[in-house]
Amino acid sequence: MNLGPHADFIIASYAVTVFVIGSLIAWIVLDYSAQRRILGNLEDQGVTRRSRRTGKDER
């Protein structure tokens, strides 16, 4: 495949696109694991959803 005299620009645009989408994916994946971790911590501390009064007190 011959990219001609402007190969740099073509490669740069594909690289930028990969980089932007890659960072978007990385952000989403890292955010997901962070939220899961915080949720896990909160559940370990005995906080339960929608159980303001019925949940047993574990302290």
49/55 Cα distance (integer angstroms): 9
Task: By CB under 8 A, tell whether 22 contacts another protein.
Answer: no
When binding is defined by CB under 8 A, the residue of 28, 44, 54, 56 that contacts another protein is: 28
Task: By CB under 8 A, tell whether 32 contacts another protein.
Answer: yes
CB of 51 to another protein, least distance (A): 8
Q: Cβ(58)–Cβ(46) under 8 Å?
A: yes
Q: Which residues bind another protein (CB under 8 A)?
A: 1-7, 9-10, 12-14, 16-17, 20-21, 24-25, 27-29, 31-32, 35-36, 38-39, 42, 45, 47-49, 51-53, 55, 57, 59
